[in-house]
Chains A and B, each alone.
Chain A
Amino acid sequence: MKKILIVDDSKVSRMVIRAHVKAVHPDWEFFEAGSGEEGIKSVIENKPDYCTMDINMPGMLGTDAAEQILQTSPHIRIAIFSANVQDTMQNRATSIGTIFVAKPVTEKSITIVLNYFASE
């Protein structure tokens, strides 16, 4: 059984991501965090296999949180899920070893994320 951490300051966004992932993987265990800082804490406590990360959140940027997480837990596959679709953000996501997927969260975008998670 795999564990997934959803980091997003929007509760609705977390609900939507969870529902889409759950539809494909009903047996996965879900964890949620509302900020980058909480996300980092949750990785230490819950040791997830996968993580989806928003960028624009109160506190630290999601990309910075993802970079920190990958420094200590390089095995986690992280998908940056953001509405901030500028090239600089997409390049930053790629440069730290994550993939960038544009919001809104849809079945199509979740498929891209799940394919990335599965491509180990």
Chain B
Amino acid sequence: MNSLTELHLDALSEVFNVGAGRAAASLSDIVGEEVRLSVPSVEIRKSSEIDVSAMGLQSERFGTVHQTFSGSFEAEAILLFTEEHALEIVRDMMGSQISLEDLAEFEQEAMCELGNIILNACLSAMADMLNIPLNCSLPDYTVATTEEIFRRVSDDLDQPYVLLLHIDLAIERRHSEGHLIFLLSSTSLKGLIIQLERFLGAV
């Protein structure tokens, strides 16, 4: 029941591809430049198996935006940005005349907004393509070390499955890696598989 077929993963990749495309269009409008996207990769892991190598994380500290999704299935979404690049993106959003020091004041709010745009783009793509209603909570933003993130993921016994999405977002010369983690309970993973089967069955 916890096995997604290659076709399921392909369908999920496509859903997130559409989501990332929408997010990039919004980001591009905000920063006034083209945002380049990598082809997203998706995998399902047991949360107990998650570590630095599984995630391929290069940085030790991340800006993390957290939101809860609910609807046909429930998931906790955590979006990770390398902290330094996060501030640069915020500066692009606010206008480059603001110094990095002054930005700290806006960081919380701007990162929540950034996370909100990206997570909602993915959410709306999933809701539209799978034809299911999905809601999400308001975002909250924290800066965390990789260790803190993994502890949080692996300690969550109610949600033993992790859907990992890796995508690179590059804004002009700045290269920022975004990682999106979805934590799913067994019931929610079943729910997601049912929705994917329904979507594939309709093709």
Please report A residues at the B interface, Cβ cutoff 8 Å. 9-13, 15-16, 19, 56-58, 82-88, 102-104
Contacts and interface: CB of A to CB of B under 8 A. Distances in A.
A19 B203 contact: yes
Contacts of B7: 11-12
A84 B21 contact: yes
B60 interface: no
Interface residues of B, number: 24
B78 interface: no
B125 interface: yes
Contacts of A83: 17-22, 125
Contacts of A15: 203
B28 A103 contact: no
Contact of B34 (A56, A86, A103): A86
B34 A88 contact: yes
B38 interface: yes
Interface string B27-66: 0100000110111000000000000000000000000000
Contact of B25 (A10, A19, A85, A104): A85
B10 A103 contact: no
A102 B129 CA distance: 13
Contacts of A9: 39
Nearest to B19: A83
B22 A11 contact: no
Contacts of B22: 83, 85
26 contacts: A10-B10, A10-B17, A12-B10, A12-B14, A12-B200, A13-B14, A15-B203, A19-B203, A56-B37, A56-B38, A56-B39, A58-B39, A82-B21, A83-B18, A83-B125, A84-B25, A84-B37, A85-B25, A86-B21, A86-B24, A86-B34, A88-B34, A102-B21, A103-B14, A103-B17, A104-B129
A10 B21 contact: no
B103 interface: no
B128 interface: yes
